[in-house]
Chain A
């Protein structure tokens, strides 16, 4: 441990801890802008400077490790003046249209300006009039608003290992854009939206589609639509943050009520279709596994039937198609819960409710920006004969819609989803957290193989924020090895091991791999309320598992409505009909379109 003082307060910190961390421990707040706890410090903004007693330099507290016996001053007249000048300099390159900005009242620069009492702008504006990039359909890059904090670049390159964006130009012309200045839509961008979740200002944000949803909801007469909505597992435990509730507040049943009040005709839960995904993906896994039991794992590895890799995450699918196209056969062909729900609504439910599928407007509320792309990713997303999901909006967009509708979400009465595509099991609920898909699959796979129900359904080894998690389970006398990776940058290590084993003619280290692109899984998605940290992610995850524990059924195959759907409509998991509606395919995509 290292001893130091922050403004005279004695603090002990671990070796390597930064001044900023020491200050936090002493309950001293040092203002920051480019710093983000998820990322290694880029040290660009110069706002977090502090003084060290006996030295004449100012140090950046975000990246300076504490040394034994040092005494720091984090606040005095000179520091405040310097910080204020730097903030004013940044403001001189930032447009003043806060009122029309997607980050109005949720902007870190605006907060700094407010806290430092900026009442005049001493320096003339130096704006660059750079064009907007909206080519991905998921996220919009507005370089005009960019403060060059570097967070998005660090996220995209280090955290996600995608390398879609880079710094271009020098000096004042420095800006964020894909390499070679192509458009984002032509770049390796996987639309995970982590850049937008980490941007401190309104420079990268989700493509707001709330107007399309309102338009559908408000159409009357012959134009009127039957508006149907589904909400994803991770939305319910994070939405409350946008309404001042503590992270991890579970709002499931209040959200149902809110959606009804907004005018949706039927409210379904993506947790249900997550159960459906488990039935399809679990069956697919068992089929591949039984094959491997006969041929041996090394052959299954060689012909790419194992390991099976999950494909619920559209950003991950995009990444795989661009960076690991040789692994296409390893991917589960089961569609994501969003797309399964979309297909079921416009076929099964439309029939049951006697609604013309052409008149259905299907909305999904997702923690994710990549889901916007998934709705039209390829022809299989039109399996009902129509676009299965018409619009996908993020948690942030839903929060705005609820506020626009004047709905007092926090004090709303609770209600239930509509059936039969509403009721779900705990297995569907945990899809929202890293390890959740794996755990849900194992719960059902165990039953399908052994014909027995699990006594203890919780596979805790695959839970938590560790980047790569491994576990082995014994099912019916076989040892099944699984791996779970989340946060795109962690995937490479796993896949490279599989590749190496395959190329060497050896057994894959794992039979089944779950991948989610965002840190913590969907609860840390790029479309979730701003400001996610590991502390917040942990609370959201806790809420997901609490939700699981509170459900009547904990395994997907136990869901009576799932059984009903198969009996009435889909026949059996993996049936031709199930394949037509609930499965998709993948192909190699170029990193750069140009």
Chain B
């Protein structure tokens, strides 16, 4: 029986943790209670991307885009939309809180400049239902590769498409496949790198959660192309939902004869196993990842030999990142030319970014290569939150560098970002405003690298710690100008002499901020001042007796407490006991709390 309405509930980790699952269950319950369960199909999908507005519920065919939905709203959605055929006005997306007008889905700026290849099925299909994937041309590419294309032809398509590795380094995928295909070996492996670890990045998680079959299909295509029958998905254990959906997808694919022995009756067999990582950032580095799959300590080893020649257990191994793989079925079905027509000269296709930080529309976005950072931040991202001033954007997570205002019009490509002292990385994009302190940010990223350094090579193991110690010193107002030279010296040695890219890029955030904001470092050192007020040791809170009316709110909010004063008399902060949490500053309605 044809359903009148389809309700899509976001099932990404972000919306799930904001009671998305409860909304989903309530909708089903309400549909039953209100006697319309046959008129509506309620589906849990992958991520819609617009995480800022989550949890998101979309109703078809009206394209009603409900944002910040609560479990209690289920009753009204069923009653109004399904039964009465009216949209729930108060839940529809509006440009901002004060705006009255609802914005139609196609007019939402967040989606306007996006172009979805990787995320084509996210928010559209039920990721736990293989039939929905198949209905969207799923497994057609595999079929084509099994019965129409020779392995070399698959590789030729990949080469012609210009697809490059989305894990960060941008190595041409077709070339990698060709290398492995040429090696004679009884066993070869296809490994999916789903060890996403940059702070703030969740592109791969969302892709798997929303469209797990696309990864499996792509791995099998790769297997067909290079002559491999065995695949491993290396995914961090902190991604339980993605793991669960992969397991379901593997089971379903096997049950339908789309995976396993003699796939679709062909002579090709392929099996996929999931391997859980313990969350070490370094295991995203391909040689460390392979060591980890082998059951060894996850430490990088020198390259060459490259994994495509000698990888897992010494056998030729293709390692492709989740996003790279998700592109592949589409490239096969739509053709290399189509894919190569998108993007810039050397960077083809699209790129998914996890847009976070001080931005109005945070979320998961996919844009054609060549889109400018300004378009991403100010058009799609809706600009800086609270009307603050843009300071910089960090791409490539702890491996990237800060990109400042003057470079925002650069079209995004692998090369252009490197030229700006950053890198594509896997796609984390963190926006900073004037309230962010460059010393504090650099310290944060360096601390991440200190924690994640595997400890094998001296420049990274010691360099990250020494740099962190210096940054910490500067943030406490105890730095000296010679420390900046030390940072640059260590940074250069780490960049040049580290074994893997974790160490090789760990200095980038510091180097970038030093290049663009040296004056702020000097302010910390010479004037013991943090203009953003982030470096607690350099901040002093006091109360302006002229402005204070003695309401006592600050004293009540103070967790120490260190604010005293008679009712209706100016209050005083005991600077020695103050822990600089800033609660008083936030609480005061009269601007009487001063930060210096």
Residues of A within 8 A of B (CB): 41-47, 49, 57-58, 60, 63-65, 81-83, 85-86, 89-90, 92-93, 122-124, 126, 147-148, 150, 166-167, 169-174
Contact = CB atoms under 8 A, between A and B. Distances in A.
Contact of A90 (B280, B458, B489): B458
28 contacts: A41-B302, A43-B457, A43-B499, A44-B456, A46-B457, A46-B458, A46-B493, A47-B497, A49-B496, A49-B497, A63-B302, A64-B302, A64-B304, A81-B489, A81-B492, A89-B459, A89-B463, A89-B490, A90-B462, A93-B462, A123-B486, A126-B466, A166-B297, A170-B280, A171-B452, A172-B450, A172-B453, A174-B461
Nearest to A166: B297
Contact of A126 (B304, B451, B458, B462): B462
A171 B497 contact: no
A166 B297 CA distance: 10
B169 interface: no
Nearest to B305: A65
A148 B461 contact: yes
A278 B453 CA distance: 54
Nearest to A170: B455
Given A49-B496, A85-B492, A172 B465 contact: yes
Nearest to B298: A170
Interface centre among B304, B450, B499 (most CB of A within 10 A): B499
Contacts of B463: 89
Contact of B459 (A46, A64, A150, A166): A46
Interface in B11-59: none
B466 A89 contact: yes
B301 interface: yes
B498 interface: yes
Contacts of A122: 486, 489
A174 B456 contact: yes
A44 B457 CA distance: 4
Contact of A89 (B450, B451, B453, B493): B493
B302 A85 contact: no
Contact of B469 (A49, A124, A169): A124
A92 B466 contact: yes
A171 B456 CA distance: 7
Interface centre among A58, A64, A166 (most CB of B within 10 A): A58
A147 B458 contact: yes
Contacts of A60: 302, 499
A337 to B, nearest CB: 40
Interface of B: 280, 297, 299, 301-302, 304, 450-459, 461-466, 469, 486, 489-490, 492-493, 496-499
Contacts of B457: 43-46
B493 A171 contact: no
A520 B454 CA distance: 35
A374 B297 CA distance: 34
**Interchain residue pairs A-B with the least CB separation, the first 4:** A174-B455, A46-B497, A85-B493, A63-B302
Contacts of B459: 46, 86, 89
A14 B493 CA distance: 31
Contacts of A173: 455
B31 to A, nearest CB: 51
Contacts of B486: 122-123
B488 to A, nearest CB: 10
A366 B419 CA distance: 61
B461 A172 contact: yes
Contact of B462 (A47, A58, A89, A169): A89
A63 to B, nearest CB: 4
Contacts of A45: 457-458
Contacts of A92: 462, 466
Nearest to A49: B497
B456 A58 contact: no
Contact of B490 (A63, A85, A166, A167): A85
A169 B466 CA distance: 18
Given A41-B302, A45-B458, A86-B497, 17 more contacts: A43-B302, A43-B499, A44-B458, A45-B457, A46-B459, A46-B493, A63-B302, A89-B458, A89-B459, A92-B466, A123-B466, A150-B456, A167-B297, A167-B299, A171-B464, A172-B462, A174-B461
A63 B303 CA distance: 8
A172 B498 contact: no
Given A60-B499, A82-B493, A43 B455 contact: no
B496 A82 contact: yes
Nearest to A147: B458
A58 B495 CA distance: 9
A90 B496 CA distance: 16
B302 A58 contact: no
Nearest to B497: A46
A41 to B, nearest CB: 7
A45 B454 CA distance: 13
A171 B463 CA distance: 11
Contacts of B450: 171-172
Nearest to B499: A43
B489 A43 contact: no
Contacts of B489: 81, 85, 122
A64 B499 CA distance: 12
B542 to A, nearest CB: 34
Nearest to A150: B456
Nearest to A46: B497
Contacts of A85: 489-490, 492-493
Contacts of A172: 450, 453, 455, 461-462, 465
Contacts of A150: 456
B458 A86 contact: yes
A148 B460 CA distance: 12
A183 to B, nearest CB: 21
A533 to B, nearest CB: 21
Nearest to B469: A124
A126 B496 CA distance: 22
A117 to B, nearest CB: 16
Nearest to B304: A65
Given A43-B457, A167-B455, A82 B466 contact: no
A490 to B, nearest CB: 20
Nearest to A56: B496
Contacts of B490: 85, 89, 123
Contact of A169 (B301, B452, B455): B455
B344 to A, nearest CB: 21
B473 to A, nearest CB: 9
Nearest to B459: A46
A553 to B, nearest CB: 51
Nearest to A84: B493
B503 to A, nearest CB: 9
B133 to A, nearest CB: 39
Contacts of B469: 124, 126
Contacts of A44: 456-458, 499
Contact of B461 (A43, A166, A171): A171
A89 B491 CA distance: 12
Interface centre among B450, B452, B461, B499 (most CB of A within 10 A): B461
Given A60-B302, A64-B302, A167-B297, A126 B492 contact: no
A148 B492 CA distance: 21
Nearest to B503: A46
A304 to B, nearest CB: 34
A4 B307 CA distance: 25
B277 to A, nearest CB: 14
Contacts of A86: 458-459, 493, 497
Given A60-B499, A170-B280, A172-B450, A148 B466 contact: no
Contacts of A81: 489, 492
A126 B466 CA distance: 8
Contacts of A43: 301-302, 457, 499
Contacts of A89: 458-459, 462-463, 466, 490, 493
B411 to A, nearest CB: 23
Contacts of A47: 458, 497
A167 B299 CA distance: 10
B504 to A, nearest CB: 9
